[in-house]
Chain A
Amino acid sequence: MTKRLCIYGLAVAGLLASVAVPASAADTITVASWGGTYQDAETKAFFDPTAKELGITIKQDTTNGLDDVRLQVTGNAVKWDITELGADECARGSKEGLFEKLDYSVIDKSGINPKLVHDDWVGISYTSVVLIYRTDVFGDKGPKTWADFWDVEKFPGRRALSGSQATETLSVAALAKGLPIDKVYPVDIDGALQSVDKVKGHIDAWWTSGAQAMQLVKDGEVDMASIWNGRAGTLKKEGAPVSFSFDQGVLTADCMVIPKGSKNKDLAMKALAKFVSPDLQANLPLYVDNGPANEKAFETGKIPQERIKDINSSPGNVKKQVLQDPEFWRDTLVEATEKFNNLIQQ
């Protein structure tokens, strides 16, 4: 009886082992991103095709950002091989030495904006901050520029701006002063703060999450707002009476890094090379509104022509927008954010 059990046991173990072979630690990597629809899109665009091509398993996790990476690296408990971050977080983490160096003989950086190609981090996708307004309030004559948004006489109504993303709000504040898009960076922080100060009394809500921005606009709590293009696109698809464009948008990049101490560094490098390749980059806008970081993606022919004009990082739209400079904010973020927090609380 015992012997028989043993044999069953062995058989089961063998079966499990044979199933588990492709997933052994040597060819498995763990990738962390922001979760939600965005990560679902990444799974279809980047992770699944890469896993298939390289014959590896890609496990997924979600991150809260740089704090998580810092915790893992400084605590010698690195569980991710690749993780996504906001570009200014990458710039800061790089300064703190939290990431492995990237090997650009494996990763082909052509087609990616040089501002997003660094020793230890590389751009992966773009989000835009855009101006959205309700068409049931303004018709199609709503505020089109940030100067309009700031003009409370000409465009009376309730307003919301981001309170949690000081960098983005300061960028649009600089645009509101009438600066041309190529003169916004380096941001004159004191000037931008003065600009925020001017509109501050007319801001009815400072949003702290994308979902909140969306809710404020959707429920008519505000008539105009700064909002991420993905959220704006969702509102429009849901049939909310809203209008937005990429004119004077602020392009913010997301990036990917290999946390220092990753156990599968080489494999992660190969996977990352796939993620940023034009072929897989071109998949991303098929599933989500975040545009590809590699502009060669638009040359692959995978993205339908009629879709290109709606993608924030298409060559035509990039020209209308300001690229948020991660290196600038790396050095000024803390001071600028504290001043900004101080200002909006008064």
Chain B
Amino acid sequence: MSVGSASFDHAGKPDGVLNADALRADARRQALGLLALVSPGLFLVFAVIIVPIGWLFWLSLFDETGQLSFANYARFFEQASYIKTFVTTFKVAFVVTGASVLFGYPLAYMLSQLPRRAASICLIFVILPFWTSVLVRTYAWLVILQRKGLINNWLIDLGVIGQPLPLANNFTGVVIGMTHIMLPFLVLPLYASMKTIDVDCLRAGMNLGASPAATFRQIFFPLSLPGLASGVVIVFVLCLGFFVTPALMGGGKVIMWAMRMEQATSLYSNWGAGAALGVVLLAVTLALLGLFQRLLGARATGVWSRR
């Protein structure tokens, strides 16, 4: 077999070009094949997510008489209570996310540093409540936190306080209940990302004379940021649409957006009233997700490039 016959085919084209053509065709075929494979999934997403959301948006544009109008949106500005609800929703989401980070980060760090067996046992304690109904857990908190609940009774019996602390049926109660429910959503992605941090990086840092605190601050913490970012985003977004805990623990004084949706659907005879609330929440959530991705994503990647 001569070199010449290997380099040129019968049409006289260079071998490389022919290969490129074949590869391109192959890539196209593969892309089409993959598209065919994902098409059922795409169709499902379209049918169960895109279509209903479009419909929701469409419904929100009609008033009670079935006329096209912005009445459902105008209401949010005319009535102060909607703005108040909106502010409360974000306040709760921020505080709960903050509390989750405060409690979740050390927990995830501890889990990631424990020996494998101990870590998996501890992980069960994180996941177990995750599998228990939110309603059950919320009622449990009510029993613990209320005026004649466990905590107040103990503290009074021990003589620590004279009057029961207002822990339930207010903002504090909502934050405590929701933080407990949100914690696993933060801890699990954070733990996963902490487990992937290369111990050699930490060892190298120590080897070069960094103190344990400096190693943590300069190496471990930046490397754990992507996991923290995804946990924070999940928790924050879930908080925005939360219903059960604020409804039960808020004592009717902490009204969140999802509770207004429920009120609106039963109060107004058109679906548009509730739908408009849904559209606003969706739009704000998407905008925030975009913002998060820019801010946290850039920060996390910035850390990587600085390294």
Interface residue ranges, A against B (CB under 8 Å): 65-67, 70, 92, 96, 158, 163-164, 204-208, 212, 215-216, 219-221, 333-334, 337-338, 341-342, 344-346
Given A205-B169, A345-B253, A346-B84, 17 extra CB contacts under 8 A: A66-B266, A163-B252, A204-B251, A207-B252, A215-B142, A216-B169, A220-B147, A220-B148, A221-B148, A221-B168, A221-B169, A334-B267, A337-B267, A338-B79, A342-B80, A344-B253, A345-B85
Residue on B nearest A342 in the bound complex, by CB: B81
Q: Which residue from chain A places its CB closest to the CB of B85 in the assembled complex?
A: A345
For the complex, count residues of B whose C-beta is within 8 A of A.
Answer: 26
Nearest CB of chain A from residue B89's CB, rounded to whole Å: 12
CA distance A333 to B264 in the complex (A): 12
> B81 to chain A: which residues have CB within 8 Å?
338, 341-342, 345-346
A344 surroundings in chain B (CB, below 8 A): 252-253
Question: Which residues of chain B from 130 to 158 have a CB within 8 Å of any chain A CB?
Answer: 142-143, 146-149
Against A, the Cβ 8 Å flags (1 = close, 0 = not) of B253-269 are 10100000001011111
**Contacts A221-B147, A221-B169, A345-B85; is A205 near B266 (CB within 8 Å)?**
no
Determine if B148 and A345 form an interchain contact, defined as CB atoms under 8 angstroms apart.
Answer: no
Query: Which chain B residues (67-102) contact chain A, with CB distance < 8 Å?
Result: 79-81, 84-85, 88
Asked whether any CB of chain A lies closer than 8 Å to the CB of B188, the reply is no
What CA separation (Å) do A341 and B88 show in the bound complex?
Answer: 14
Nearest A residue to B270, CB-CB? A70
Given the complex of chains A and B, what is the CA–CA distance between A344 and B252 in angstroms?
Answer: 8
Smallest Cβ distance from A321 to chain B, in angstroms?
25
- B190 interface residue, CB < 8 Å from A? no
**Minimum distance in angstroms from B140 CB to a CB of chain A:** 13
Q: Which of B146, B148, B268 contacts A334 (CB 8 A)?
A: B268
Assembled-state Cα–Cα distance A220/B156 (Å): 15
Q: Tell me if B248 is interfacial: C-beta within 8 Å of chain A.
A: yes
Complex Cα–Cα for A115 and B250 (A): 37
Total CB contacts across the A-B interface at under 8 A: 65
Chain A residues positioned under 8 Å from B263 (CB to CB): 164, 337, 341
Residues of B whose CB lies within 8 Å of any CB of A are: 79-81, 84-85, 88, 142-143, 146-149, 168-169, 247-248, 251-253, 255, 263, 265-269
Roughly how many angstroms separate A287 CA and B194 CA in the complex, as a whole number? Answer: 60
CA A333 – CA B267 in complex, angstroms? 8
Q: In the complex, A255→B113 CA distance in Å?
A: 63
Which residue of chain B has the shortest Cβ distance to A340 in the bound complex?
B81
- A334–B255 alpha-carbon span in the complex (Å): 18
| Cross-interface CB contact of B251 among A164, A206, A220, A346, cutoff 8 Å | A206
Give every chain A residue within 8 A of B268 (Cβ-Cβ): 334
Of A70, A163, A342, which one neighbours B269 at CB under 8 angstroms? Answer: A70
The reply to whether B79 and A342 contact each other, CB–CB distance below 8 Å, is yes
B266 proximity list for chain A (CB < 8 A): 65-67
Residue of A nearest to B142 (CB): A215
**A-B residue pairs in contact (CB < 8 Å), sample of 7:** A208-B247, A212-B248, A216-B169, A338-B81, A338-B267, A345-B81, A346-B80
In the assembled complex, the CB of A1 is this many whole angstroms from the nearest CB of chain B, namely 41
Q: How far is it, in angstroms, between the C-alpha of A208 and the C-alpha of B251 when the chains are bound? A: 9
State whether A208 touches B252 (Cβ < 8 A): yes
- CA distance in complex: A339, B247 (Å): 20
| CB of A283 to closest CB in B, whole Å | 30
In the complex, which residue of chain B has the Cβ closest to the Cβ of A333? Answer: B267
The distance from the CB of A13 to the nearest CB of chain B, in whole angstroms, is 38
- Min C-beta distance of B275 to chain A, whole Å: 13
B142, B146, B252: most-surrounded residue (chain A CB, <10 A):
B252
Give CA–CA (A92, B88) in the complex, Å. Answer: 31
Q: Point out the residue from B85, B251, B269 that lies within 8 Å of A96, measured CB to CB.
A: B269
- Asked if A158 meets B147 with Cβ closer than 8 Å, knowing A206-B253, A333-B267, the reply is yes
In whole angstroms, how far apart are the Cα atoms of A221 and B152 in the complex? 12
Q: Which residues of A contact B169 (CB under 8 A)?
A: 204-205, 216, 221
Task: Find chain A residues with CB under 8 A from B143 CB.
Answer: 219
Q: Could you tell me the distance between the alpha carbons of A65 and B80 in the complex, rounded to whole angstroms?
A: 28
Which residue of chain B has the shortest Cβ distance to A66 in the bound complex?
B266
Task: Give the residues in chain B near A216, CB-CB below 8 Å.
Answer: 169
Bound CA–CA A70/B270 (angstroms): 9
Docked CA distance A220–B148 (Å): 7
Q: Which residue of B lies closest to A65 (CB)?
A: B266
A92-B269 CB under 8 A given contacts A208-B247, A221-B169: yes
Q: How far is the CA of A96 from the CA of B268 in the complex (A)?
A: 12
C-alpha spacing A220/B152, complex, angstroms? 12
Knowing A66-B266, A334-B267 touch, does A205 contact B251 (C-beta < 8 A)?
yes
Query: In the complex, which residue of chain A has the Cβ closest to the Cβ of B80?
Result: A342
Do B146 and A219 have beta carbons less than 8 Å apart? Answer: yes
| Chain A neighbourhood of B85, CB < 8 A | 345
Q: How far is the CA of A219 from the CA of B84 in the complex (A)?
A: 30
List A contacts of B80 (CB < 8 A).
342, 346
Cα-based distance from A205 to B268 in the complex (angstroms): 25
Please give the distance in Å from A217's CB to the nearest CB on chain B.
12
Q: How far is the CA of A207 from the CA of B250 in the complex (A)?
A: 10
Q: Which residues of A contact B265 (CB under 8 A)?
A: 67
> In this complex, which of A158, A216, A333 has the most chain B Cβ atoms within 10 angstroms of its Cβ?
A216
| 9 A-B pairs with the lowest CB-CB distances in the bound complex, closest first | A206-B252, A163-B252, A205-B251, A342-B81, A205-B169, A220-B148, A345-B81, A221-B146, A345-B84
